[in-house]
């Protein structure tokens, strides 16, 4: 049984051991004074401030401030290393594809919580329109770090339910189904993806629904398309 660990004013040598011991074992939450640097498709710097730094069990790094829903920086499924210097503690999260690096320079002795989080059954009640609205308002249910581009957008092949942009700058076309997604839904998604691909846009497609037929799932996989199960009753 994993027991939560709460540590106050942690020395950097202890913090380094905590990260080594619990990385990908538990979720590590830090309250700290820090600067944040990003290098990848662009570059950014967040000046020193008190922030919430979270390392999830899959290696995802999230950095939150006191306002807003989205983190100011994140790195999904990263390799995370750390090192103590004389004037700061450095946390480095690296993703290889695409190559991106987030560095967190911790300036004080942080408060740390190590815990084991779970995942429960997720369900939505309502119409297909409600499902579209929900995904548009919460794009992270499709992919962590995704942002809304458009909803119910008309193309020559029909109306795309939701268009998102991933953290690596790909378009994500989401076809929503209130009930069971079938072959027709997959063929429709393929048409959308082919349309945007022909325009020279880097794009991938996802079906979001409570369930999907085996034939439809097989066709999705054959065409390198994704499926996100959203329980919808």
Is residue 65 located within the same domain as residue 135? no
Amino acid 1: pLDDT: 65
The confidence score (pLDDT) of residue 124 equals 62
Q: Which residues contact 182 (CB under 8 A, 6 or more apart)?
A: 212, 213, 215, 216
Question: Mean per-residue pLDDT for 178-191?
Answer: 91
Q: Are residues 104 and 199 in the same domain?
A: no
CATH code for position 22: 2.70.180.20
pTM exceeding the 0.75 threshold for the entire prediction: no
Q: What are the residue ranges of helices labelled H in the chain?
A: 12-22, 128-137, 183-198, 214-222
Q: How confident is the model at residue 75 (pLDDT cuts 50, 70, 90)?
A: confident
**Average pLDDT value for residue range 142-160:** 91
Of 53, 83, 115, at which residue does a domain stop?
Answer: 115
Based on the fold, state whether residues 107 and 175 are members of the same structural domain.
no
Range of the domain at 216: 123-232
Q: What's residue 129's pLDDT? A: 87
For residue 232 the two structure tokens come to 């919808």
């Amino acid at each position: 049984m994993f027991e939560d660990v709460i540590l106050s004013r942690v020395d950097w040598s202890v913090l380094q051991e905590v990260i080594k011991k619990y990385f990908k074992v538990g979720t590590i939450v830090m309250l700290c004074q820090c600067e944040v640097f990003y290098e990848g498709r662009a570059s950014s710097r967040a000046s020193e401030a008190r922030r919430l730094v979270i390392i999830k069990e899959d290696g995802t790094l999230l950095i939150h401030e006191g306002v807003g829903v989205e983190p100011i920086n994140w790195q999904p499924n990263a390799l995370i290393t750390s090192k103590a210097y004389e004037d700061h503690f450095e946390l480095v999260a690296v993703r290889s594809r695409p190559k991106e690096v987030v560095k967190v320079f911790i300036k004080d002795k942080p408060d740390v919580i190590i815990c084991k989080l779970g995942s429960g059954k997720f369900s939505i009640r309502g119409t297909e329109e409600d499902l579209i609205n929900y995904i548009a308002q919460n794009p992270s249910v499709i992919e962590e770090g995704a942002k809304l581009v458009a909803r119910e957008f008309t193309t020559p092949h029909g109306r795309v339910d939701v268009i998102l942009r991933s953290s690596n700058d790909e378009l994500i076309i989401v076809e929503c189904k209130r009930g069971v997604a079938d072959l027709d839904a997959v063929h429709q998604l393929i048409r959308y993806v082919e349309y945007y691909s022909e325009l020279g846009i880097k794009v991938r497609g996802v079906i979001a629904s409570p369930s999907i037929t085996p034939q439809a799932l097989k066709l999705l996989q054959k065409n390198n398309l994704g499926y996100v199960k959203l329980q919808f009753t």
